[in-house]
Amino acid sequence: MSTQRTVLQEAGTVEDNPVRLEQEKAEQIIDALNADLADAYVLYHQLHKHHWNVEGAEFLDLHVFLQDTYEDVEAAADELAERLQALGGVPHASMMALSEAATVEPEDEDVYDVRTSFENDLEMYGDIIESYREHIELAQGLGDHATAHMLREQLEELEEHAHVFDHYLEDDTLVTESAIHT
């Protein structure tokens, strides 16, 4: 292993970018994208936790659904990190930096019933959706149409996931009380 350490760019700095977005504007967008990145990883871990712990008559469908959602969140996080790097920034990568930048609170370590878990997921999705809307307006207002477009596409996916979680939380079900207690 090499003992030489060459820092190519310090975390928290913003360099010139090839897309020619002014540095002051890039700094604002990079801060927003790093918050979105941090929130994505909080959501990712919570969804993954629920994927591991889901139980019950609907286990398989929910297990697969949760895997699909956390994989979508992970892909979005990768896109966020690559965009903020293209803008001259350094994506948060350490657990400490991600934790400090996150605007959403993760669920604790306890395992909850599916309904409680999904209610917590839906709440986090709602908070992230609101943040995305603000960051879309920020990027658009600063003339970064590409970032605004990327965030709009991700917002559509976030809203679709929230919609599905909301449907899962409806009272109507094919599973009967007697089937649950046997």
10 is a domain residue: no
Write the CATH number for 28.
1.20.1260.10
pLDDT band (50, 70, 90) for residue 1: low
- For residues 20 and 94, the answer to whether their CB atoms sit within 8 Å is no
The CA distance from 29 to 17, in Å, is 13
Is the pLDDT at 172 greater than 90? The verdict is no
180 is a domain residue: no
165 is a domain residue: yes
- How many distinct structural domains can be found in the chain? 1
1 is a domain residue: no
131 is a domain residue: yes
Quote the tokens at residue 78.
Answer: 């990768």
pLDDT tens column, 3-34: 778 998 988 888 898 999 999 999 999 999 99
133 is a domain residue: yes
109 is a domain residue: yes
Distances (CA, A) of 37 to 10, 76, 118, 165, 181: 18, 8, 21, 21, 41
78 is a domain residue: yes
> What is the extent of the structural domain holding 49?
23-169
pLDDT tens column, 49-76: 999 999 988 899 999 999 999 999 999 9
The CA distance from 56 to 75, in Å, is 28
Is the pLDDT at 177 greater than 70? The verdict is no
Q: What is the reported pTM?
A: 0.90
Task: Taking the CA atoms of 167, 172, 176 and 182 in sequence, report the sign of the dihedral they define.
Answer: positive
